[in-house]
Structure 1
Amino acid sequence: MANNLTRFNPFGDLARFDAFRDFEDMFKNFPLGGASAGQAAVPRINLDVSESDQAYVVKAEAPGAKKEDVKVTVDGNAVTIRIETRQENQEKQGETVLRSERYYGVQTRRFTLAHDIDDARAAARYQDGILELTLPKKADGGGAKVLQIT
């Protein structure tokens, strides 16, 4: 019977107290209101990466971006995609402006691949909101190169 007894410690829970234990969960489903209500979410660069024996093919979503606002940098096996986004919304009633909103942002996505990229043969193409990168593999290393988007 004595083996089933445990000593009660009234301060045991305080010794294990972690003030930030559930901090992230507290804001998980918190509804945003005020100035940010009704605004579209900031887009994210989503990627599809496929690999063959000779090259990687990367398809990135960049809806609404202009070709001149997209920049791709290749450095060894690291690839960086940078997209500037500008958006203006204006509501008018006749000649009176009721609401005017502007958004400017830069989205960046950087990832590394298993093999170094042959930047001399790498190519980038942007059409219908999709950026397609063809990144041939190479055996030796090299410096960084900014790709020209066609």
Structure 2
Amino acid sequence: MSREISNLSSLSDVARFDPLGSFEDLFRDFRQAPLGRWMEGRQAMKMDVSENEAAYLVKADVPGMKKENIKVDIDGNKVSIVAEVSDSKEEKDGETLIRCERSCERMQRVFSLAHEVDAAHAVAKYEDGVLALTLPKKNGKEARQLKID
């Protein structure tokens, strides 16, 4: 055994030996799995929520979406924002699609507020990738899907 150790040029050669591959390689392989690719494509919807005496004000980042692809549902104090777009794959003569990362995107955020929302008077506006919601407070429960201006 001492003969085998003497053949190593230094202790750093032992430290470099890794029979399982690098720790980084392990996770790179995991990210390449179908579930890993699915998770990488998903984006978290970032938002700010503020409140005054009369209403909640919500600003949510929904970049790259058209207002037609955004759905806001209100049910009592529960608010759901879903934005989904699915681009069709365009094929051109003489071109081969090598990688497509823009074909389908979905963002979703569901949250509850301390007070119920007056869905009949709620307002949604979408401009420059930001969805702005004005959600008036109400006593009682009413469900409604908002039209985005």
1:103 maps onto 2:103 in alignment: yes
1:72 maps onto 2:69 in alignment: no
Q: Which residue number in structure 2 is paired with residue 54 of structure 1?
A: 54
* Offset at residue 89 of structure 1 (A): 7.5
The 3-state SS of whatever aligns with 1:30 is: helix
Normalising by structure 2, we get a TM-score of 0.68
User: 1:4-55, CA deviations, whole angstroms, 9 ceiling, x for partnerless residues?
Assistant: xxxxxxxxxxxxxxxxxxxxxx99x822347878xx7422211110111111
Q: Which residue number in structure 1 is paired with residue 142 of structure 2?
A: 143
User: RMSD across aligned C-alpha pairs, in angstroms?
Assistant: 3.0
Q: Output the CA distance in 2 between the equivalents of 1:34 and 1:72.
A: 32
Q: Output the CA distance in 1 between the equivalents of 2:144 and 2:97.
A: 46
Q: Percent identity?
A: 42
- Structure with greater strand percent: 1
User: 1:49-93, CA deviations, whole angstroms, 9 ceiling, x for partnerless residues?
Assistant: 01111110001111001110000001110000011122468798x
**Can you give the 5+ residue segments of structure 2 that lack an aligned partner in the other structure?**
1-22
**Can you give the 5+ residue segments of structure 1 that lack an aligned partner in the other structure?**
1-25
Q: Is the 8 A contact 1:89 1:100 kept in 2?
A: no
* Offset at residue 141 of structure 1 (A): 1.2
User: 1:116-149, CA deviations, whole angstroms, 9 ceiling, x for partnerless residues?
Assistant: 11111100001111000000111x2122100010
Q: Which residue number in structure 1 is paired with residue 10 of structure 2?
A: none
Q: Is the 8 A contact 2:45 2:108 kept in 1?
A: yes
Normalising by structure 1, we get a TM-score of 0.67
Q: Output the CA distance in 2 between the equivalents of 1:73 and 1:79.
A: 6
Q: Output the CA distance in 2 between the equivalents of 1:67 and 1:122.
A: 16
The 3-state SS of whatever aligns with 1:96 is: coil
User: Which amino acid is the alignment partner of residue 30 of structure 1?
Assistant: F
User: Which amino acid is the alignment partner of residue 144 of structure 2?
Assistant: K
Q: Output the CA distance in 2 between the equivalents of 1:116 and 1:34.
A: 42
- Count of residues in Structure 1 that have an aligned counterpart in Structure 2: 120
